[in-house]
Amino acid sequence: MDNYSKYMKTCFRLARRAEGKTSPNPLVGCIVLDKNGVKISEGYHKKYGENHAERDALLKLDKDAAVDGTLIVNLEPCNHYGKTPPCTDLIIERKLKRVVISSFDTNPVASGGIKKLEKVGIEVIQGVLEEEGNELNEVFFTNISKKRPFIALKTATTIDGKISTSSGDSKWITSEKARKYARKLRKKYDAILTSSSTVIADNPEMKHKTKIIIDRHLKCDLSSQIFKNGNIYIFTQKVPPEVNEYPNIKFIQKDKITIDFILEELFKRKIMSVFVEAGGKLLGSFVKEGYADKIYQFIAPKITNDNSSKSAFDGDNISLIAQSKEFKLVDTKKLYPDVLLTYKQP
């Protein structure tokens, strides 16, 4: 089992090579051992629409190379026709003796791979490093179980939890090193989301393939730099008359713009993960509504020492500490002179 754990960790590393490229599919890596336990191939799901990890690994081999061998993969092999044929069929065709998996596929459309393999006599070893495997595909499993995008909130604060002074000055709380790492994190997610207040206050560029702006009253100048690249969705209560002048902007209109409505619309459009960078009001709303799946909090060694400075989260009104939202610290990272704390819902 320890040997399989070692190979499974390699599957995780392979899978992570495609972060930000496989959505709405999961991240999957695969290793193939021959009948003597010698590694003969590896592969991973590189991009949505391309071969799954198992096919990527097996198709690199001669037809009989994997006979009586072992296939190690971090997610239960699929059992349906999608962009590619079922991976279970190829595993059976190549006459593997054993399949080792980490996580079960909770997608009812694609699941059933284990049963199919066992039915033809292939040994299936289940649950190797399952917790790590589930963590790797936290976005995918959230999409399936909650029928909505996975939401990550990012904030950059002083030690006393402030994101700007009372006048709105915030440049720069954290170092260039921390900001560079934040830009790297963005790339893992299908889209970034911010508010019109942030666009107006900071005029950010926020380079990304998909950007979402909440601008209920169309206060933003649509010539601002954030609108100059990427596919853009603006959630608004009114649509400008010159809508055809903005081919890269899709206006999604409703009289009342709620977080529930936004997530429902994004999920319909197969936007499966969202990286939220905004002020305390919007971040606080996501926390209050229970949609903060993950929080990235960059903390600089600075103290405003001023209670009128703006807080990172400002969406609720409580009288008891017991009413606070609780999160679990899952990772710490030093980005000298700053630190990144990563939290998840418990």
Residues serving a catalytic function are 54
Q: Give pLDDT, residue 1.
A: 47
Please give the average per-residue pLDDT across 228-240, as a whole number: 91
- DSSP string of 71-87? EEEEEPPP-S-SSS--H
Q: Give the tens place of pLDDT for each residue, 96-149.
A: 999 999 999 988 876 789 999 999 999 999 999 999 999 999 999 999 999 999
Mean pLDDT of 2-26: 94
CA dist., res. 54 & res. 84, Å (int)? 11
Q: How many residues does the chain have?
A: 346
Quick one: 28 and 155 in the same domain?
Answer: no
Of 10-19, 147-156, 200-209, minimum mean pLDDT range: 200-209
Q: Considering its fold, how many domains does the chain have in total?
A: 2
- For residues 53 and 166, membership in a common domain is answered with no
Residue 34 reports pLDDT greater than 90? yes
Residues 239 and 263 in one domain: yes
Could you tell me what percent of the chain has a pLDDT over 90? 82
Which of 101, 123, 141 is a domain's end point?
A: 141
Q: 190, 272 in Cβ contact below 8 A?
A: yes
Q: What pTM did the predictor assign?
A: 0.92
C-beta of residue 293 within 8 angstroms of C-beta of residue 150: yes
**86 vs 93: CA distance, rounded Å:** 11
Reported as a single tens digit per residue, the pLDDT across 297-322 is 999 999 999 999 999 999 899 999 99
Q: Give pLDDT tens digits for 255-284.
A: 999 999 999 999 999 999 999 999 999 999
Please spell the DSSP secondary structure of 84-137, one letter per residue.
S--HHHHHHHTT-SEEEEEE----TTT--HHHHHHHTT-EEE--TTHHHHHHHT
Per DSSP, 281 falls in state H
Q: What is the number of other CB atoms lying within 10 angstroms of the CB of residue 82?
A: 12
* Residues 200, 317 within the same domain: yes
Please say if the pLDDT value at position 180 is more than 90: yes
Instruction: Answer whether the bond into residue 247 is a cis peptide, omega within 30°.
Output: no
Direct distance between the N- and C-terminal alpha carbons of the chain, in angstroms, rounded to an integer: 29
Q: Which of 90, 110, 141 is the last residue of a domain?
A: 141
- Which positions ≥6 away from 63 have C-beta within 8 Å? 94
What's 39's domain CATH number?
A: 3.40.140.10
Domain that residue 338 falls in: 147-344
Q: Specify whether 54 is located in the same domain as 96.
A: yes
